[in-house]
Amino acid sequence: MHMSKIITGLLFSTFFALSGCFSIDSHVLHSTGREHVLVSNYGWTLFHTIPLISGNATPEDERLFPFALFRDDVTIDKAQEGLARYARARKKKTSTLVYRNDDKVLMSIPGLNIPVPIPYILCYHEVQLSGELE
Instruction: Check pLDDT > 70 for residue 134.
Output: yes
Rounded Cα–Cα distance for residues 74 and 94 (Å): 21
Rounded Cα–Cα distance for residues 53 and 44 (Å): 5
Q: What is the pTM of this model?
A: 0.77
DSSP single-letter state for residue 83: H
What pLDDT does residue 95 have? 92
Residue 77 lies in a domain: yes
Q: What is the mean pLDDT of the chain?
A: 83
Residue 6 lies in a domain: no
Give the total number of structural domains in the chain: 1
- Name residue 90's amino acid: R
- What range defines the domain where residue 46 resides? 20-133
Rounded Cα–Cα distance for residues 109 and 89 (Å): 44
Query: What digits encode the pLDDT tens for the residues 58-76?
Result: 998 898 888 888 999 999 9
Q: State CA 26 to chain mean position distance.
A: 16
Residue 15 lies in a domain: no
More confident site: 4 or 44:
44
